[in-house]
Amino acid sequence: MKPNLFNNSIAEIAISYSSRIKASDRVQITRSEHADSLFREVFPSLEHKEYFFALYLDRSNRVLGSYMISSGGITGTVVDPKLVFQAGLKANATSVILAYNHPSGQTTPSEADISLTKKLVNAGNILEMPVLDHLIIAQQGYKSFADDGLL
């Protein structure tokens, strides 16, 4: 019998993803309008504070699920790239679409928004989970980084 060198002081890590939706019934995203529509269903609000969400996709661009990465204040929210891809890895996603809202109603990305997007695109490429799009959502519209060539 082997002696227990760590005296049971190592925590167990549990990783899970659960879906009751058959693959053939999952929503497929083929345009930024589809992603905008789905994000509007999961965002708690577009006006009162900023949220950052991800939609994780399979190889056919069918949605495996959504995940709220962060919730912030009126003018910003903190996004940790590790958290963005952690949930996607749990779901065995092959790509991701990102979105956050601007409570001001403006959809023009700031330099910080563009910098964050580049960081997330680079991380996604390393993990072989590409960022297909990044949306800025406002009450009266949205901006797609992919449609505007900003990815």
- In tens, the pLDDT along 38-70 reads 999 998 888 889 999 999 999 999 999 999 999
The pLDDT value recorded for residue 3 is 60
Task: Give domain limits for the chain.
Answer: 23-144
CA 69 to chain CA mean position, Å:
7
Q: Tabulate helix, strand, coil % of the chain (nearest 5).
A: 25, 25, 50
May I ask the CATH architecture of the domain 23-144?
3-Layer(aba) Sandwich (3.40)
CA 1 to chain CA mean position, Å:
46
Distance CA 118, CA 55 (A): 18
pLDDT surpassing 90 at residue 2: no
What rounded mean pLDDT belongs to the chain? 90
The pLDDT value recorded for residue 43 is 87
The pLDDT value recorded for residue 95 is 98
Strands ordered across the beta sheet of 51-57:
63-71, 51-57, 95-101, 131-138, 141-144
Q: How confident is the model at residue 36 (pLDDT cuts 50, 70, 90)?
A: very high
In terms of pLDDT, which residue wins out, 19 or 8?
19
